Amino acid sequence: MRVSRWSAALVCSLVAACAAPTDQNQVTPPLSMSVVSGNGQQGTPGAELPRPLVVRVEDARRHPVSGQIVNFRVVSGGGSVFAGAAISNRNGLVQERWTLGFGGLQQVEARAIDPATGARLTFAVFTATLDSILPSGDSLPPITSNVVAIPNPAHPGDSVTIRAQVSDTFTGGSNILGADVQVDSGPFLMMNASDGAFDQQNELVFRTLFGLSAGTHLVCVRGRDSAGNTGSFVCIVVTVGTGSSGDTLGPVTLNVSATPDSAAPHDSIMIRAEVRDTFTGGSNIAGAEMRVDSGGFVPMFASDGAFDQQNERVNRLVVGLAVGSHSVCVRGRDTAGNTGNQTCIGFSVAATKSLPGSRRRGRLQP
């Protein structure tokens, strides 16, 4: 059989194509990112923009890249993003929601790490503008007062809640629009209205802080009103860690009791005590522990459910003690890292006494 030159060439081409396939799904570095939509929006301070931020991730051949992690970071304006990171879909698209801050240039950057080179990629930038606020005649900012931190001093690992009052009643009469808290020289963090909404001339605000390092921190709070005025910062010092508060005295333990005393075997015995630091440094109580006889210390519990005050009532249930005399010792520790002295009491577990006629139940004579 004769094969034409054209047919032979076609067969050779097909064989070569099968022998050396090209992976159309292979990502060719370097990656690039472009803004698809969501840039240049205008919105109300403190409100989420109506349209999401959308970027597209592509490789060097302009093919979409799926499975790429993209991080969104607010770099100016004090706003926030909803998730902070997202993964590109099969079309290379990634979306995020943006809530505007209350002043200055509003800007978000989309960032990624090139999986092939490890290079930092920051090449998608979104900007937005704030709605102008109509003049109301109020040119005075709100006043911030009663800033507190609970607990303060705190122990490393504690969550610390910052609370304050922001009022515009005597400085223009506008409603409070929001409040910020700043720790040391860090970013401005939006605070929350205690009643759930900023809609009054006076607002109680709060924000819980996590992961404060040991040492002293300057925590500052300021408020904003609906006329566009931002008040001055009011600051307090928050102390975290052992000894950094100047409190070197351990708390005092008193009023230790065992109920019931002279218990019967197998009775549960409630150990109660009061731990105070009011007059020995003024730190909050961080915990308490107890031991029975020569056993090891075990933790006790705050009667109100949380260790967050300078005076705490504590308790723990003990079961299965043998007949005889026992001692229980209780001690407390404060958020400055001081452990107090033990306060001990004695109590007893008595043998069960038989009731008259109990051996002949049902045959008692009158």
* SS (HEC) of 186-239: CCCEECEECCCCCCCCEEEEEEEECCCCCEEEEEEEEEEECCCCECCCEEEEEE
Of residues 349, 138, 187, the one with CA closest to residue 264? 349
- Quote the pLDDT of residue 246: 66
Q: Computed from CA positions of residues 238, 241, 247, 249, in that sequence, does the dihedral angle turn out positive or negative?
A: positive
Paired with 317 in beta bridges are: 270
Arithmetic mean of pLDDT, 261-289? 89
**Cα distances (angstroms) measured from residue 88 to each of 56, 71, 93, 190:** 8, 11, 5, 29
Nearest to 346 by CA among 269, 275, 274, 289: 269
Q: Would residue 357 be called left, alpha or beta, if left means φ above 0 and alpha means ψ between -120 and 50 degrees?
A: left
Does residue 17 surpass a pLDDT of 90?
A: no
Q: Are strands 252-259 and 269-276 parallel, antiparallel or unpaired?
A: antiparallel
What is the reported pLDDT for 274? 96
- Is residue 365's pLDDT more than 70? no
pLDDT at 46 over 50: yes
| Amino acid identity for residue 229 in this structure | N
For 336, the token pair is: 């400055």
CB contact at 8 A, 300 and 292:
no
* Burial bucket for residue 186 (CB in 10 Å: 0-12, 13-18, 19+): exposed
161 Cβ partners below 8 Å, 6+ apart? 149, 150, 206, 207, 208, 209
- The pLDDT of residue 63: 92
Q: For residue 293, what is the DSSP state?
A: T
In this prediction, residue 16 carries a pLDDT of 42
d(CA 195, CA 204): 8
Confidence (pLDDT) at 32: 85
Q: What pLDDT, on the 0 to 100 scale, is given for residue 136?
A: 63
Predicted local confidence at residue 50, as pLDDT: 92
> Which of 146, 153, 148 has the alpha carbon at shortest distance from 310?
153
Radius of gyration over alpha carbons of the chain, in Å?
34
What dihedral angle (degrees, nearest 10) is formed by the CA atoms of 193, 312, 242, 180? 10
Q: Return the closest-CA partner of residue 256 out of 342, 339, 349, 343.
A: 343
Query: What pLDDT, on a 0 to 100 scale, did the predictor assign at position 134?
Result: 52
- The pLDDT value recorded for residue 22 is 42
User: What percent of the chain is modeled with pLDDT above 90?
Assistant: 49
What percent of the chain is predicted at pLDDT more than 70?
A: 86
pTM over 0.85, yes/no = no
pLDDT value at 15 more than 50: no
pLDDT confidence bin for 133, thresholds 50/70/90: low
Average pLDDT over residues 306-320: 92
Please give the residue that has the higher pLDDT: either 131 or 136: 131
310 to 110, 301, 318: CA distances (angstroms): 46, 15, 26
- Of 161, 141, 138, the closest CA to residue 149 belongs to 161
Instruction: Give the pLDDT of residue 355.
Output: 46
Task: Using the predicted structure, report yes or no on whether residue 13 has a pLDDT greater than 60.
Answer: no
Nearest to 186 by CA among 234, 214, 220: 220
Q: Which residue has the higher pLDDT, 75 or 3?
A: 75
List the single range of 9-23, 56-70, 141-155 with lowest mean pLDDT.
9-23
**Backbone dihedral angles phi then psi of residue 19, each to the nearest 5 degrees:** -75, -30
Confidence of residue 47 (pLDDT cuts 50, 70, 90): confident
Provide mean pLDDT across the span 7-13.
45
Q: Tell me what the pLDDT averaged over the chain comes to.
A: 84
| Confidence grade of residue 228 (pLDDT, cut at 50, 70, 90) | confident
Q: Which one of 12-26, 171-185, 340-354 scores highest in mean pLDDT?
A: 171-185
- Quick one: pLDDT at residue 132? 64
